[in-house]
Structure 1
Amino acid sequence: MDLHDFYYDLPEELIAQDPLSDRSSSRLMVLDKETGEIEHKIFRDIVDYLKPGDCLVVNDTKVIPARLIGTKADTGATIEVLLLKRLEDRQDTWEVLVKPGKKAKVGAKISFGEGKLIGEIIDIVEEGNRLIQFTYDGIFEEILDELGQMPLPPYITHKLEDKNRYQTVYAKHEGSAAAPTAGLHFTTELLEKIKAMGVNIARVTLHVGLGTFRPVKVENILDHHMHSEFYVVTQEAADMINNTRKNGGRVIAVGTTSTRTLESVALEDGTIPAKSGWTEIFIYPGYKFKAIDCLITNFHLPESTLVMLVSALAGREHVLHAYEVAVQEKYRFFSFGDAMFIK
């Protein structure tokens, strides 16, 4: 399968730079995955497409303010560090992305917040990422909250006024370098309304890495390697999802991250076990879904692994046609953009 099979033309002005003041007033494109038929709605109309006995599966990861700007201890040069993942066995050591990388040699020390946080580069790992060991007084998360910035995607050109707008209203477990953006459309009120309809809401956790934004650089997509991301499926979530399926309800994933979590753990018959671990699952056309029936998602970058996942569910032709229509109708694209419901 060729990378260019997943290209579409997107005018730059359709890339949403800011979130809407009311989360649930985004537009919603409804796509029938069997027929390709399209409807245009507002996100809060999602209730018209949900039925009692369905189960919404949300990713309750919380984005950490993972972007740190510091200075090199010896030269005073500015260095930007992006926290990617914490090492399990060494809690104060992180794998990070460093800019400019040339200045970040092993042994270099970087000071953040005038010495509140000191990082020492202790190793270079794959793709030029670094391992940094931090020293500080106090609680790391509190220092990070004070000094760090939200690690917005590269296509968003300015700083976010309100950090919370890059979090879902149900974000709970800290650890993501990017938000699970399909969930950004839900308000607490809308979720209460959905629950009152008899729809279950199951929470899983997948800590989103920057691999989400990593472009596919190989012509043959089968040669692309996904970054690994940590997930948790609790017994409570597994039971809720399995009961939904047993009782004839639909499993509706909110976002590609929830989808990848469920498809990573699902048994051949679609049963979801309680499990945690790392996943590198790459879903592209030809994949047979075991766990999910429907998907709520945003509009994704051309030639991205996310467009490939959506195409696997709804068919490449249906998806690319829907994206063409979205461009014509001036939908807003990417993280702060509008949503699509694939039914």
Structure 2
Amino acid sequence: MKKIGVLTSGGDAPGMNAALRAVVRKAIYHDMEVMGIYNGYQGLIDGKIVPLDLGSVGDIIQRGGTKLHSARCLEFKTEEGQLKAIEQMKKHGIEGLVVIGGDGSYRGAMALTSKGFPCIGVPGTIDNDIPGTDFTIGFDTALNTVIEAIDKIRDTATSHERTFIIEVMGRDAGDLALWAGLAGGAETIVIPEEPFDLEDILSRLRSGHERGKKHSIIIVSEGVMNANQFAELLKEHAQIETRVSVLGHIQRGGTPTARDRVLASLFGARAVEKLMEGQGGLAIGMRNHQVVDYSMTEAFDGKHEADLTLYKLSKELAI
């Protein structure tokens, strides 16, 4: 394989640029050409494809977002759209593709692989919801962003003696809420993977108040409900007044942590190695601190599972 392409798709995640850098430089080290595809699958269909050299990915390892930009593309979900994409790659001499993104991006990559065009998936999403890998690129950075916000909100909660509800991202996965809640010392964590007991939450709030605790932090994952809905529940069932903070897209931005930069570099390099071996339809991941590759179908057909031992521990420590 002499020429490969690379694109980023779906929601941006800190560390995507580090993965892009690794793909480009690993390929060039092995005398391969790299073509950068702008605006994800939409750019692939539209032919927004340019050569990338060493300088193209200089000074980006520390930058959040994605240099190649990202976009949603309904057309690519169709047979016609996928064939247009393949024609563009043939036109530019691209023989294999690295796709950096989440499960939706993987589905697109698998569709191309099934048509004889080898693709390798690199997990880039702050949600940490890709089955088959312990961690995804961007999760650690987003986690630290959330923890920083919790720490600051706790200062205000303490000063005004109030209960704050903080809504975090994660789609249908509770990892961000779970890890941030434990690390931030939250009194209550609400995640999609574990049904919450409203009476237990109210009991904990009352117990804390009785022993003199004047403030509380509740972390709610967006996959359960939004923070304003949860605030209404507390008001309706216990007349508890709360303040709500929705962190929103601030969680996606920012300089990637050292952990995300290393993870992205490892994943990007492994993706190139797999294409060099002539393989496709694989996802790259991390299991037990080792970089692995596995069938992409496992990534979007499998089920993400949160570490509920952390959930149990958080309840024990928040007495």
TM-score if structure 1 supplies the norm length?
0.26
Bigger Rg, which one: 2
Higher strand share: 1
Give the TM-score normalised by the residue count of structure 2. 0.28
